[in-house]
Structure 1
Amino acid sequence: MDVKELRDQDVTQLNEQLITLRKEQFELRMQKSTSQLTDLSKLGKTKKAIAQIKTIINEKSS
Structure 2
Amino acid sequence: MNVSELRAKDASQLNAELLELLKAQFSLRMQIATQQLSNTSQLGKVRKDIARVKTILREKAGAK
TM-score (norm 1): 0.98
Match of 2:29 in 1: 29
Match of 1:55 in 2: 55
Mapped to 2, the partners of 1:38 and 1:11 lie a distance apart of 34
For structure 2, the 5+ residue unaligned runs are none
Percent of matched pairs sharing the same residue: 53
**How do 1:1-12 residues align onto structure 2 when only pairs under 5 Å count?**
1-12=1-12
- Aligned Cα root-mean-square deviation (Å): 0.4
Structure 1 position 13, deviation (Å): 0.2
Match of 2:15 in 1: 15
Q: Which runs of 4+ in 1 moved over 2 A?
A: none
Q: How many residue pairs align between the two structures? A: 62
